């Protein structure tokens, strides 16, 4: 799986100060959020294919921001299961990428 953001970005967004036991949970959420975003825009989800499109340090900032919003929703609702990650803000950030046709 290709992650659209790294653990440090997610920790900062979630306001988690230091590495601790929640890192495993955050890493899992990063993977789920990245997969959800890549599925939404119909981009390749495997690491090999996604890295053909973007390198880790070249993922567009609006895609990273949308991914962070999804991570925030997943994190806030991880126990209740009531996540609704694709808010208007997320879909607006991703709208320019959704119609792309991926090889």
Residue 50 placed within a domain: yes
- Reading the chain (103 residues) residue by residue, the pLDDT tens digits are 789 999 999 999 999 877 776 889 999 999 999 999 988 887 765 555 555 667 767 899 999 999 999 999 998 887 666 767 788 899 999 988 876 555 5
**Predicted pLDDT of residue 93:** 92
Distance CA 38, CA 4 (A): 9
Q: By residue range, what is the domain housing residue 54?
A: 7-94
Residue 101 placed within a domain: no
User: 61, 54, 55, 1: which is closest to 31 by C-alpha?
Assistant: 1
Distance CA 70, CA 73 (A): 5
User: 59, 83, 45, 70: which is closest to 5 by C-alpha?
Assistant: 59
Counted domains in the chain: 1
Burial of 79 (0-12, 13-18, 19+ CB in 10 A): exposed
Residue 2 placed within a domain: no
Residue 100 placed within a domain: no
**Predicted pLDDT of residue 8:** 92
Residue 103 placed within a domain: no
CA-CA distances (angstroms) from residue 6 to 40, 80, 99? 20, 25, 26
**Predicted pLDDT of residue 66:** 96
**Predicted pLDDT of residue 6:** 93
Residue 57 placed within a domain: yes
Residue 102 placed within a domain: no
Residue 15 placed within a domain: yes
Q: Do 67 and 43 touch, CB atoms closer than 8 A?
A: no
């Amino acid at each position: 799986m290709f992650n659209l953001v790294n653990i440090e970005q997610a920790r900062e967004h979630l306001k988690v100060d230091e590495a601790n036991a929640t890192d495993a949970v955050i890493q899992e959420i990063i993977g789920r959020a990245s997969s959800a975003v890549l599925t939404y825009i119909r981009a390749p989800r495997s690491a090999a294919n996604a890295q053909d499109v973007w390198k880790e340090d070249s993922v567009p900032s609006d895609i990273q921001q949308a991914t962070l919003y999804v991570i925030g929703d997943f994190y806030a609702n991880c126990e209740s299961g009531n996540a609704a990650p694709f808010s208007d803000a997320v879909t607006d950030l991703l709208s320019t990428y959704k119609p792309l046709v991926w090889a």
